[in-house]
Structures are given as C-alpha cells and as structure tokens.
C-alpha cells in the first residue's frame, strides 16, 4: 500500500520503520525543516523495549542510555539543597531505559528502510477520503493519492483536526505548562539536577552527557496561544517566571529569550473514542497523548505503531478489521499511561507553600530511612 505519515517525531519515525519493513511504500512529511531533536531525555519502558528489540534498534538505544535521576534535588532561593528526589520516585522499573530525545530520533531516522522516504518542510494542507483512497494536497502545492494516511503529528495534530474535528473536543488540560531550553553557556562541573520551587512553579537545570537544559513547569488554566508563534510562547514564560530574580532564574530566562528551538506546551492528554476514521488512522500523541507526566509517550508511540503494522499485515484488504485490531491491542497501554499521569505534577510543582513544605518533609523522611 502507499501510506502517508504526517509527522516525523517518535511515532512517525517508528511507523516509518515498521510499515516500511512490512513492504509498504511510505512517505513521511515533517513540517519542520529538520529532525526535531530537542527536548529532555525520554523513557522507553516495558513492552516497548521488546518491540525495540524486534525493530532491531535496542542495542543502539542501550548504547546511548543516560541516567537523569542521579542526584535530582530541590534547592532554595540561594541554591541550598532542601530535599533530594530518590530515583524510584520517577522510574517504574530498573529495566526502563532513558535516552536523550535527539539520540532516539537519530536512531529511528537511521533505521528507516529504503521504502520509506522523508520530506522535511512539508505538511498536509487538505485531505479527502473517498473510500477507495485519500487525496492529499500539501502546503507546497503538490498533490498525491494514498491508500492510508497515518496521523503522527503530535498532541496538536492537524490530521486529527482535519478528520475528527477540533482539538478542544479531545484535549484534556491537566493544569500545567512545560518548557525546555538549552543552556549553552553553562560551565558548572556539578552534575546534580537542581530544581527551585515556589507555589505553582518549578524552574530547574538538568544535565546529561554534555547538554545542560533549563526546565520550567507552572500551573495555569488553559492559555490560548498560537502553537507556531515562538515569541508568544516566550512571553508566556517570561510572564510566569520573570518577576523572580533568585537562584539562576534570570540566566534560564535569558536562554529562553535566545532559544530558536524552545519547547513549550501545555501538559495535556488526548482522549478519543476511536483512533481511525475511513482511511485515516492516528498514532502516538495525536491519538492518545498521555502527557509528559506519564513518562510513557515514547513507549506508546513504539507499541502503537508496531501494533498498527502487525494489524495491517494480519488483515490485508480489510482496513476496518486492521484498525479494530490495532485499537484493541494499543488501548490498554494508552489507558494505563494516561491513568498514571496523575500525581507527578504534585511532586514536581506543589500548588501551595503548605504542599511544598510537606513534599520536602516527605522526601527528607524518605532519605533518612
Ligand atoms: C521538539 C519536541 C520536544 C519534546 N520534548 C519532550 C520532553 O522533553 N519530554 C516529554 O515527555 N515529551 C517531549 N515531547 C513529546 C514527546 O516527544 C511525545 O510525547 C512522544 O514521543 C510521542 O511522540 P509523537 O511522535 O506522537 O509526537 P511528537 O514527538 O510531538 O512528534 C510530532 C511530530 O509531528 C510534527 N508535526 C506537527 N504538525 C505537523 C504537520 N502539520 N505536518 C507535518 N508534521 C507535523 C512535529 O514537528 C513533530 O516532529 C517533545 C516533542 C517535541 C516535538
């Protein structure tokens, strides 16, 4: 089959590998002009590790593994440590693998089979499913026809909007925003990951290999902003953190101002009753974003695209049955991931000074045990 995949993030690249390896002719279009490699290290967990093995990429993943949870600590306004975060607070199992997002993106990219081609700077503009195929018009003006369109274009999926309707019908905002920025001038030899809180806010510094990231989280009601307007996103962060001068807040905000690749998004989930409609099927965050609080988004991207490729293989010529099998296999993983996203925000971004003091006291008690 001729398959179009919209988005070359973790889900799109995984789909490119598994669908390409199944003998399909795959075209991936990525709106950005390059592989989007920024972001903090991500976890690969549970069955996604077995699938990575079957995809032939597990050894490469293990070779790039990092440990971020060593010496994660909360500091006060002067940088003094007030509590430490034990590794088992943030990890499910010792078998989990944490890998820089950029390394996983490159491993997946390099594993794309020759039957999968990737076009950067391209995006769907319109699609029309007539039952026998999907006619697609791209923003470049090109037109083509595909047997299936796979929407792997993330939480704010355009494919989902064009096929299933407005984002607000599926998005559940969990009450937080997250941002990541690279700190290119950081010279410190201290390897600790340090975080400063004040009620409803967290700002910190994390490190892996030679990379140093500024990370920000804050609690907020839903904010309407343009996902493509980086300056607007920077202003939201400056409004949220800019009145604070303590610790390294000014330095992190300076990096935000200068960062052309800032990552900023709401911490939200996508809940859909079904992930396919006609010849369009959604995978990854587009279908079932569990939010960064779950730590399972990438694992879901890997399992889901694997199940989709298997289902298409098991039901040649019967797309409805294939999509049904894909959903049945993936739904329990998505539900578990979404259900697990609850308490992480209270740990990292306590809402009040009382909650903040209680969190620190709880962590200090755990450390004394
Ligand atoms: C730059 C970036 C940084 C991230 N950092 C973190 C992080 O630090 N921690 C964390 O937990 N999660 C992070 N995420 C989210 C995480 O990658 C996903 O939750 C998870 O890996 C599932 O991947 P996905 O491929 O479904 O979605 P995503 O990783 O969001 O990938 C979607 C891809 O689709 C592309 N795209 C979007 N719209 C279009 C369009 N109209 N046409 C073509 N392409 C389009 C995007 O550019 C992106 O490459 C980040 C995502 C991105 C894009």
Kindly give the pairing relationship between strand 148-151 and strand 171-182.
unpaired
Q: Is residue 216 part of a domain?
A: no
| 284 DSSP assignment | T
Predicted confidence (pLDDT) at residue 91 exceeds the cutoff of 70: no
Distance of CA 9 from the midpoint of ligand 1 (Å): 5
Q: Whose CA is nearest to atom 30 of ligand 1?
A: 154
Q: Is residue 218 part of a domain?
A: no
List pocket residues of ligand 1, CB cut-off 6 Å. 6-12, 29-32, 36, 38-40, 42, 101, 123, 152-154, 158, 180, 263, 284-286, 292, 297-298, 301
Beta-carbon contacts of residue 264 (< 8 Å; ≥ 6 apart):
177, 178, 179, 233, 234, 236, 237
Q: Is residue 281 part of a domain?
A: yes
Q: Whose CA is nearest to atom 5 of ligand 1?
A: 39
Give residue 327's domain range: 2-39+101-169+270-339
Q: Is residue 366 part of a domain?
A: no
**Mean pLDDT on 164-182:** 96
Q: Which helix (H) or strand (E) holds 234?
A: helix 230-241
Which tokens go with 236?
A: 């939201």
Q: Is residue 111 part of a domain?
A: yes
**Mean pLDDT on 5-22:** 98
Q: Is residue 14 part of a domain?
A: yes
6: exposed, middle or buried (C-beta count within 10 Å: 0-12, 13-18, 19+)?
buried
Instruction: Tell me which of 5, 7, 29, 103 to substitute to probe ligand 1's pocket, judged by most ligand atoms within 8 Å of the beta carbon.
Output: 7
Length of the chain: 369
Half-sphere exposure of 308 (CA within 13 A, CB side): 32
Which tokens go with 181?
A: 């920025």
Q: Is residue 350 part of a domain?
A: no
Q: How many domains does the chain have?
A: 1
**Mean pLDDT on 277-283:** 98
**Domain CATH for 148:** 3.50.50.60
Verdict on whether the full-model pTM lies above 0.85? yes
Q: Which of 101-105, 147-151, 191-195, 281-285 has the lowest mean pLDDT?
A: 191-195
Q: Give CA–CA dist 212/100, Å, rounded.
A: 12
123: exposed, middle or buried (C-beta count within 10 Å: 0-12, 13-18, 19+)?
middle
Q: What pLDDT does residue 83 have?
A: 94
Residue percentage of the chain with pLDDT more than 70:
95
Q: What pLDDT does residue 90 have?
A: 52
Half-sphere exposure of 364 (CA within 13 A, CB side): 11
Q: Which of these, 128, 154, 111, 158, lies nearest to 288 by C-alpha position? A: 154
Q: What is the pLDDT of residues 209-248, one digit of tens each?
A: 888 999 999 999 999 999 889 999 999 999 999 999 999 9
Ligand 1 atom closest to 286 (CA): 26
Buried b (16+ CB within 10 A) or exposed e, 24-52: bebbbbbbeeebbebbbbbbbbbebbebb
Are 76 and 196 in contact, with CB atoms under 8 Å apart?
A: yes
Q: Is residue 82 part of a domain?
A: no
């Amino acid at each position: 089959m001729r398959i179009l995949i919209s988005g070359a993030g973790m889900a799109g690249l995984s789909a490119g590998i598994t669908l390409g390896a199944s003998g399909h002719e795959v075209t991936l279009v990525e709106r950005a002009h390059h592989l989007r490699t920024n972001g903090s290290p991500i976890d690969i967990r549970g069955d996604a590790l077995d699938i990575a093995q079957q995809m032939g990429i597990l050894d490469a993943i293990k070779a790039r593994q990092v440990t971020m949870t060593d010496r994660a600590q909360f500091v006060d306004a002067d940088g003094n440590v007030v509590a430490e975060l034990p590794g088992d607070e943030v990890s499910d199992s010792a078998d989990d693998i944490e890998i820089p997002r950029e390394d996983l993106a490159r491993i997946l990219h390099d594993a794309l089979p020759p039957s999968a081609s990737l076009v950067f700077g391209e995006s769907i503009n319109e699609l029309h499913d007539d039952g026998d195929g999907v006619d697609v018009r791209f923003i470049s003006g090109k037109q083509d026809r595909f047997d299936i369109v796979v929407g792997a274009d993330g939480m704010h999926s355009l494919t989902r909007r064009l096929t299933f309707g407005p984002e607000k019908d599926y998005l559940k905002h969990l009450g937080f925003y997250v941002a990541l920025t690279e700190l290119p001038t950081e010279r410190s030899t201290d390897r600790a990951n340090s975080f400063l809180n004040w009620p409803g806010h967290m700002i910190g510094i994390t490190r892996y290999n030679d990379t140093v990231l500024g990370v920000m989280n804050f609690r907020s009601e839903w904010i309407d902003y343009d996902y493509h307007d980086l300056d607007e996103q920077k202003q939201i962060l400056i409004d949220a953190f800019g009145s604070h001068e303590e610790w390294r807040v000014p330095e992190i905000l300076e990096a935000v101002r200068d960062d052309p690749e800032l990552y900023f998004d709401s911490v939200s989930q996508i809940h859909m009753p079904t992930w396919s409609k006609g010849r369009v099927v959604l995978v990854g965050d587009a279908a079932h974003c569990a939010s960064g609080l779950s730590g399972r988004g990438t694992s879901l991207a890997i399992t889901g695209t694997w199940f989709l490729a298997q289902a298409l293989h098991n039901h040649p010529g019967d797309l409805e049955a294939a999509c049904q099998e894909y959903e049945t296999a993936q739904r329990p993983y998505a539900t578990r991931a979404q259900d697990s996203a609850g308490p992480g925000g209270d740990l990292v971004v306590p809402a009040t000074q009382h909650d903040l003091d209680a969190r620190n006291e709880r962590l200090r008690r755990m450390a004394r045990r």
